[in-house]
Chain A
Amino acid sequence: MQITEIFSSQLPVGEKLTIKKGRFEPKERKPDTKRISIVSGTHGDELEGQYVIYLLSSWLRENTDTISGIVDLYPAVNALGIDTITRGFPIYEVDLNRAFPGSNHDYLPGQLVHALAEDVKGSDIAIDIHSSNIFLKEIPQIRINKEFSPSTLPLAKKLNCDFIWIHDAVTVLEATFSHTMNEMGTKTLVVEMGVGMTLTQVYGKQLLSGILNLMKSEGIISTDEEFEQREPFSSEVGDVFYINSPSAGLFVQSITHCAIIKKGDVIGTIVDPLSGKIHDTLYAPSGGILFTLREFPVVYEGSLIARIFGESHENN
Chain B
Amino acid sequence: MKTIEILRIDSLNRSPLIAEGYLFEGSDPTAPSVAIVGAMEGETILPLYTASKLVDFLRHSLDDESKIVGNILVIPSVNHYALNINQRFWPLDKTDINTMFPGYGEGETTQRIAKKLFDALQGYTHGIILETREGISTCIPYIKLFESGYEDLKSAKKFGYRLIHHKSLRPTDTVSLQYNWQLWGTKAYSIICPSDTNIDLNTSNEVFDGIINFLSKNKIIQYKVLSGYESTIVKNRDIEIIKTSKSGIFIPTKKIGTTIKKDEMIGKVIHALEGKVTHRIFSPCDGLIACAYKNGLIFENAVAFRVIKSG
Asked whether A93 and B89 contact (CB < 8 A) given A12-B247, A247-B10, the answer is yes
Give the residues in chain B near A262, CB-CB below 8 Å: none
A32–B302 CA distance with the chains assembled, in angstroms: 40
Quick one: which of B11, B88, B175, B247 contacts A9, CB cutoff 8 A?
Answer: B247
A133–B248 CA distance with the chains assembled, in angstroms: 33
CB contacts under 8 Å to A, within B57-111, are 88-89, 92-94, 99, 106-111
Which of A61-69, A210-218, A295-303 makes up part of the contact surface?
A295-303
Quick one: which of B11, B94, B135 contacts A300, CB cutoff 8 A?
Answer: B11
CB contacts under 8 Å to B, within A49-83, are none
Does B174 interact with chain A (Cβ within 8 Å)? Answer: yes
Interface residues on B, range: 35 or more
Give the residues in chain A near B302, CB-CB below 8 Å: 107-108
Give the residues in chain A near B174, CB-CB below 8 Å: 171-172
Chain A residue at smallest Cβ distance from B297: A12
Which of A23-31, A84-92, A229-237 makes up part of the contact surface?
A84-92
Asked whether A303 and B109 contact (CB < 8 A) given A9-B247, A107-B303, A172-B175, the answer is yes
A39 to chain B, nearest CB (A): 20
Whether B249 and A171, one on each chain, are in contact in the complex, defined by CB atoms closer than 8 angstroms, is no
Does A10 interact with chain B (Cβ within 8 Å)? Answer: yes
Interface string of B157-181 (1 = CB under 8 A from A): 0000000000000111011000000
Does B112 interact with chain A (Cβ within 8 Å)? Answer: yes
Give the residues in chain B near A93, CB-CB below 8 Å: 88-89, 94
Chain A residue at smallest Cβ distance from B241: A105
Whether A171 and B171, one on each chain, are in contact in the complex, defined by CB atoms closer than 8 angstroms, is yes
Give the residues in chain A near B4, CB-CB below 8 Å: none
A9–B109 CA distance with the chains assembled, in angstroms: 37
Whether B303 and A12, one on each chain, are in contact in the complex, defined by CB atoms closer than 8 angstroms, is no
Chain A residue at smallest Cβ distance from B273: A14
Quick one: which of B99, B106, B108, B295 contacts A303, CB cutoff 8 A?
Answer: B108
Whether A91 and B136, one on each chain, are in contact in the complex, defined by CB atoms closer than 8 angstroms, is yes
Whether B272 and A14, one on each chain, are in contact in the complex, defined by CB atoms closer than 8 angstroms, is yes
Interface string of A1-35 (1 = CB under 8 A from B): 00000000111111000000000000000000000
CB contacts under 8 Å to A, within B176-205, are none
Interface residues on A, range: 35 or more
Asked whether A248 and B108 contact (CB < 8 A) given A92-B136, A107-B135, the answer is no
A209 to chain B, nearest CB (A): 32
Does B246 interact with chain A (Cβ within 8 Å)? Answer: yes
Interface string of A93-132 (1 = CB under 8 A from B): 1000010000001011001000000000000000000000
A107–B299 CA distance with the chains assembled, in angstroms: 9
Does A148 interact with chain B (Cβ within 8 Å)? Answer: no
Whether A302 and B111, one on each chain, are in contact in the complex, defined by CB atoms closer than 8 angstroms, is yes
Does B298 interact with chain A (Cβ within 8 Å)? Answer: yes
Does B310 interact with chain A (Cβ within 8 Å)? Answer: no
Whether B172 and A12, one on each chain, are in contact in the complex, defined by CB atoms closer than 8 angstroms, is no
Give the residues in chain B near A303, CB-CB below 8 Å: 92, 108-109
Quick one: which of A111, A248, A302 contacts B11, CB cutoff 8 A?
Answer: A248
Does B301 interact with chain A (Cβ within 8 Å)? Answer: yes
Whether A248 and B10, one on each chain, are in contact in the complex, defined by CB atoms closer than 8 angstroms, is yes
Chain B residue at smallest Cβ distance from A304: B108
Whether A244 and B88, one on each chain, are in contact in the complex, defined by CB atoms closer than 8 angstroms, is no
Does B230 interact with chain A (Cβ within 8 Å)? Answer: no
Give the residues in chain B near A301, CB-CB below 8 Å: 9-10, 109, 112
Give me the 10 closest cross-chain CB pairs, A-B, nearest first.
Answer: A302-B109, A12-B297, A248-B10, A174-B171, A13-B272, A300-B109, A302-B112, A12-B247, A171-B174, A108-B299
- Given A174-B171, A175-B170, A242-B107, 18 more contacts at CB 8 Å? A9-B300, A12-B248, A12-B297, A12-B298, A12-B299, A91-B136, A108-B302, A172-B171, A248-B11, A298-B12, A300-B9, A300-B10, A300-B92, A301-B10, A302-B107, A302-B108, A302-B109, A303-B92
27 pairs, CB–CB < 8 Å, chain A vs chain B: A9-B247, A9-B300, A9-B301, A11-B299, A11-B300, A14-B273, A91-B136, A91-B295, A107-B135, A133-B93, A172-B171, A172-B174, A242-B107, A244-B107, A244-B108, A247-B10, A248-B10, A248-B12, A250-B12, A300-B9, A300-B10, A300-B12, A300-B92, A300-B109, A301-B10, A302-B107, A302-B108
